[in-house]
Amino acid sequence: MNKTIIITGGAGFIGSHVVRLFVTKYPDYKIINLDALTYAGNLENLKDIEKSGNYYFEKVNILDVEKLDKIFQNNKPDGIIHLAAESHVDRSILSPIDFVYTNVVGTVNLLNAAKKLWNGSYEGKRFYHVSTDEVFGALGETGFFTEETKYDPHSPYSASKASSDHFVRAYHDTYGLPVVISNCSNNYGPNHFPEKLIPLFINNCIMKKPLPVYGDGLYTRDWLFVKDHATAIDIAFHQGKTGETYAIGGFNEWKNIDLVKLLCKLMDEKLGNAPGTSDKLITYIKDRPGHDRRYAIDATKINKELGWKPSVTFEEGLSITIDWYLQNSDWLKHLTSGEYQNYYSEQYGS
């Protein structure tokens, strides 16, 4: 094997697309998916590649320092791509401490494991930290986040991700650890857990349940198809400069209510509903506390320096996504029992 790479959080939404891309594109790499399998981790996401000769799974919590050290020492990874995290803003409002443990302490544990293994010999080594645009706070009507934007997180989730980014940079500046960070906008696509806006609303359209729009619905997000994020990570992992940050986005801003109306139209077409059927499910509810008004990424740097750009339009990506959910109803059914119902009742009251 040419290289050994540990991908953390590989059973989650984005992680599973990154694992699939690396396992299939780099048959000469040993890919170790290290994941605790929390409510968001699901090995069904990787069924199609789980028998590949270069794929390995380790059920490990990144808070378990002893197990981490053992896996690092036994496998001697050349690279870490770190995606494991608590990732949902609403859950961070309900229980912030889980985000501090996994996102902050877990990241520092991984940095320590890499630092100990590599012991100052950094040739050919890389620690790639996957982060979010939410660390930059909220934009007004105009302007974009770039790699130079000052950090200004507002939710417990974004505060924990901001903290993890600072630790990753600190390990570069203090110990010379060869790190790369990327901050990406909102992803969507297959395998997205149905607690986030797009998969939740697809599921609720199918179930004919209310579509709970927070506040006035005029919040703006910049949406990127998950496979395009995986490609950006591949490029920045291999070609990005050590110590650098890359902002990744879809050049694709949507106000929530406009996105929801487009989604309703596509759902009605695909479900064979009369036009306007899903629109009737739209229900405005109490706003999310600390809700950031607008996110938008200027992804010029990764485009100009590394040649990355999104490969699908939003309409194409959304159509592929809806088709995937309609063809994978079992995947949704397996996720929407038990823990999901408890969370749903606590968050939406029904």
| DSSP-based three-state secondary structure for 211 | strand
Q: Supply the minimum distance, in Å, between the C-beta of residue 219 and ligand DAU.
A: 4
- Mask for 159-188, x = binds ligand DAU (CB under 6 A): --------------------------xx--
Q: Is 157 a catalytic residue?
A: yes
> What residue has token string 């309703």?
264
134 binds ligand DAU (CB under 6 A): yes
Q: Which of 134, 165, 253, 292 is catalytic?
A: 134
Q: Is 346 a catalytic residue?
A: no
CA distances (Å), origin 338, targets 68, 96, 213, 330, 334: 30, 22, 24, 15, 9
278 binds ligand DAU (CB under 6 A): no
Residue type, 100: V
- Considering beta carbons, is residue 118 or 145 the nearer one to ligand DAU? 145
Nearest to 213 by CA among 173, 252, 153, 257: 257
Q: Supply the minimum distance, in Å, between the C-beta of residue 301 and ligand NAD.
A: 16
Q: Which residue is nearest to ligand NAD (CB)?
A: 12
Q: Where are the alpha helices (H) located in 46-185, listed in sequence order?
A: 65-75, 89-94, 96-99, 107-118, 156-175
Residue 129 interacts, among ligand NAD, ligand DAU, none and using kind-specific CB cut-offs from 5 to 8 Å, with none
Q: Is 35 a catalytic residue?
A: no
Nearest to 136 by CA among 192, 91, 181: 181
Rg (Cα) of the chain, in Å, rounded? 20
Report yes or no: 186 and 14 within 8 Å, Cβ to Cβ. no
Which stretch in 169-177, 194-202, 227-235, 327-335 sits in contact with ligand DAU by CB under 6 A? 194-202
200 binds ligand NAD (CB under 6 A): no
Binding site for ligand DAU (CB under 6 A): 87-89, 132-134, 185-186, 196-197, 200, 212-214, 219, 221, 256, 288, 295
Task: Give catalytic residue positions.
Answer: 133-134, 157
